[in-house]
Amino acid sequence: MPTSDTVNMSSNGKSQWPLSRIALWVGVGLASLSLAITLRYFVIEPHDMGFACADTVAPWWCTPRQGVVMMHLWKAWGWIGLAGGALGLAFGWRPAVWIGFVMSLMGLVLYNADLAAIGLMLTCLRLPRA
């Protein structure tokens, strides 16, 4: 008997994706996008932050900001998302699927859309079985 908290009933009557699992994936996706948007618009792009870090006496937060900027320049978001998606699809490793999902979503916002889009596509191919 199907319950109200399940979706996609299989032929044997067992639920494949309970709503709690869907909510988890959507929640993690929204949190990843929120973090990426925050990093982009409040850490990477503001000119005032860049000018403050160019001073001889830079604030404490310049080193972490520089790390985020370097990840952007090296396309780390996209490469990690692509690797996670590929490993998740090839081997079915759940941690790789999660890493591919999170880093690909972040890469789409943080200027690495080319690699991140492929990583997200590979992750989504594995997602129904994750």
What's the pLDDT tens digit per position in 53-84?
A: 888 888 999 999 999 989 989 999 999 999 99
Overall domain count for the chain: 1
| Best-predicted range by mean pLDDT (1-5, 31-35, 43-47, 61-65) | 31-35
Helix (H) or strand (E) holding 57: none
Task: Determine, yes or no, domain membership for 44.
Answer: yes
Task: Determine, yes or no, domain membership for 94.
Answer: yes
Query: Residue 130 is encoded by which pair of tokens?
Result: 């994750």
Q: What mean pLDDT is predicted for residues 17-28?
A: 92
In this prediction, what percent of the chain has a pLDDT beyond 90?
A: 62
Range of the structural domain that residue 37 is part of: 18-129
Task: Determine, yes or no, domain membership for 11.
Answer: no
pTM of the model: 0.83
CA distance 86 to 65: 29
pLDDT band at 35 (very low <50, low <70, confident <90, very high): very high
Task: Determine, yes or no, domain membership for 4.
Answer: no
Task: Determine, yes or no, domain membership for 25.
Answer: yes
Of the candidates 103, 128, 110, which has an alpha carbon nearest to the alpha carbon of residue 17?
128
Query: Quick count: other Cβ atoms within 10 Å of Cβ 84?
Result: 26
